[in-house]
Amino acid sequence: MTQNGIGQQAGRAVVVGGGSGMGFAIADALLADGYEVVIVGRSAERLADAVRELGEGKVSAVQADVSDEEQVSRIFETVGTVDHVISTAADVAGTYGPIATFDFEHGRGFIETKLIGSMLLAKHARLTGNGSLTFVSGIAAYRPAAGGAMVASVNAALEGLARALAVELAPIRVNAVSPGWVTTGIWDRMPWDDKEQRLQAMAEKLPARRLGTPEDIAVVVVSLLKSAFVTGTVLHVDGGHRLA
Ligand SMILES: NC(=O)c1ccc[n+]([C@@H]2O[C@H](COP(=O)([O-])OP(=O)(O)OC[C@H]3O[C@@H](n4cnc5c(N)ncnc54)[C@H](OP(=O)(O)O)[C@@H]3O)[C@@H](O)[C@H]2O)c1
């Protein structure tokens, strides 16, 4: 263990989704703060690229699909006991669309990764008694868009899960961070042909007058890991989106 910025012992952290976007920024920030970090994701290639960028030998990776119970169990057989588990994992393929024509076979992956995956992590993670679990929900739970029923309901459910687990797993702390619109590759997977205009319009509308960056989310997640009296809560990192 090493000392972190505020004099507490930094620990070991697993970042599910650490191969890209917010998860990558969280892994990077944790490494800079002296944590030992393991990143998890499905794509071996994405993980290898992330390890190279974060620094070979500084971070390790486990390839696993968080929606599969056996694979989640194997993550913790491999890494053993850790202090913190953070999950940014979400598969948005087929997630957006009007309820009248929604294809549940295709769209179900979002529930399986983001909600069931988080439950599986809670079930199998071998956490120290003063450890924490952090989930990443999202603004859609508060400001849903038409066609976003799946995203809105899963994000809301994930926040309910964080509260329930904060009670059940205590004194392990369980929290959610709810981002607004953050510039990551996730937007490339939206069924939009006017992505840039939509992102620009949102940036102008927000009290922060810009979209979030993955680093905006990472700084809050790291502070949450160190905040030993915060549990069962949702931290909004959305540039004021709920007021816009
Ligand atoms: N970006 C935004 O504006 C925004 C706004 C609100 C909420 N959010 C939420 O923030 C979280 C992070 O999103 P992001 O923007 O950072 O997206 P991202 O770059 O696509 O990150 C998602 C990560 O999760 C991993 N993943 C997906 N399914 C997985 C599975 N079944 N098992 C293990 N890993 C899996 C992906 O890697 P593999 O594909 O290799 O597995 C990827 O590295 C998501 O929960 C998203 O819903 C994002």
DSSP result, 91-138: --TT--S-GGG--HHHHHHHIIIIIIHHHHHHHH--EEEEEEEEEE--
Q: What is the pLDDT of residues 106-130, one digit of tens each?
A: 889 999 999 999 999 999 999 999 9
**Whole-number pLDDT of residue 153:** 97
Instruction: Specify the 3-state DSSP secondary structure of 234.
Output: strand
Q: Which residues line ligand 1 (CB under 6 A)?
A: 16-17, 19-23, 40-43, 46, 65-67, 88-91, 113-114, 117, 136, 138-139, 179, 181-182, 184-186
**90 CA to centre of ligand 1 in angstroms:** 4
Which stretches of the chain score pLDDT less than 70?
1-9
**Whole-number pLDDT of residue 93:** 85
**Whole-number pLDDT of residue 2:** 44
Q: What is the pLDDT of residues 184-197, one digit of tens each?
A: 998 888 778 899 99
**Whole-number pLDDT of residue 6:** 42
186: Cβ contacts below 8 Å, ≥ 6 apart = 21, 90, 92
**87 CA to centre of ligand 1 in angstroms:** 9
**Whole-number pLDDT of residue 3:** 45
**Whole-number pLDDT of residue 61:** 98
| Domain locations in the chain as residue ranges | 12-236
Q: Which fold has domain 12-236?
A: Rossmann fold (3.40.50)
